[in-house]
Chains A and B, each alone.
Chain A
Amino acid sequence: MFKAIYNWIDERLDITPMWRDVADHEVPEHVNPAHHFSAFVYCFGGLTFFITVIQILSGMFLTMYYVPDIINAYASVDYLQHKVAFGAIVRGMHHWGASLVIVMMFLHTLRVFFTGAYKHPREMNWVVGMLIFFVMLGLGFTGYLLPWDNKAYFATQVGIQIAESVPYIGPFIAELLRGGDIVGAQTLTRFFAIHVFFLPGALLALLAVHFIMIRRQGISGPL
């Protein structure tokens, strides 16, 4: 049945070349764990992406219950965690995935570094990867405030103080992040907007560039 549906659509829209272009490409022997088990280190980039997809999905579902407001934020997180079916699991995915994505990204960076995959002609992709790294850290920093508990509040307080220590423009950055003089209502809505709209948008754009460059330049050769 699926085949018939696929054929019906393919006959009209010619979609086969589209997914072929994405999915059908040469994977060299030295990155295939079936040939050399040690090649599993080449999986970390894909794993980072896999967890990123889970983060985006679980985050989308969490916003069905969450409100970025200093009165209700904690209560809404408490409600979705304890009262909604699978709340602990969906929030758990987002919570643990946030740490795991950093770990996977770090391992991926190490692999790229030690296989020398950042060298000519792939220097630009290393730079894009570093930008992705900082966007991910930003997502982690802004997401940490959202439950609006004590830990979140003081972590943000400290984080903003670190930003404030930048010479000359520090106080300006701090006020911009806070949206005012104190960590409060405006900080929370601001961090929510950054966490849910601005950084994910930037992340998706950077990931697209990252992947397009991989396909253009191919996978770097064996050691």
Chain B
Amino acid sequence: MSNREQHEQSHSSAKKKTMSRRQFLSYTLGGAGAFMVGGVALPMIRFAIDPVLQKKTGGTFVKVAQESEITTEPKEFKYQIHQVDGWYESDPVRTAWIARDQNGVIFALSPICKHLGCTVNWNTHNDNQYFCPCHEAKYSIDGKNLKVAPAPLDEYEVELRDGWVYLGPVKPNSRV
């Protein structure tokens, strides 16, 4: 810094700080560069993260069984859901074990074992329990994990309409 500049600065400290040519250039070049990189990169990033930001379509309910069919003994019901996966639409089969509790309330459990995701079955050992053949996990009639599994069986949301049982999305077990 030259003497003259120092002299000026000390006398006009209230004035705005001057910007050096180098600073000005690096700001303009950096700004223009950031604008160009951003213009190219931002659409691509938004494109890539789109699945995360897409609106979740609230789970639709599917007609599965007649209310009169449901007893206190869990029964297996298979039903199809309509699944839209990007450009691919399909109707995969889902399974639910539906039963009434002592109060007559209908509930539906998912048969996917909470240990490692095998499929459980009801009463295979005549002990009124759900049993998973992979690692011998056991669950009570309410889905409570009794052996091996770290969490209770998931539950389906249930809706009753005109004597029919409709099943919706899976939720954590609310019974145990």
Contacts and interface: CB of A to CB of B under 8 A. Distances in A.
A80 B43 CA distance: 13
Contacts of B46: 85-86
B176 to A, nearest CB: 40
Given A54-B40, A57-B40, A85-B53, A76 B47 contact: no
B86 interface: yes
B87 A90 contact: no
A199 to B, nearest CB: 21
Interface in B33-77: 40-41, 43-44, 46-48, 50, 53
B24 interface: no
Given A54-B40, A57-B40, A86 B47 contact: yes
Contacts of B88: 72, 75
Nearest to A91: B47
Interface size class of A (residues with CB under 8 A): 20 to 34
Contacts of B86: 65, 76, 79, 83
A65 B44 CA distance: 12
A189 interface: no
Nearest to A85: B50
A78 B87 contact: yes
A75 B50 contact: no
Nearest to B49: A85
B3 to A, nearest CB: 29
A84 B87 contact: no
16 contacts: A57-B40, A58-B44, A61-B44, A65-B86, A72-B87, A76-B86, A78-B87, A80-B47, A85-B46, A85-B50, A85-B53, A86-B43, A86-B47, A86-B50, A89-B43, A90-B47
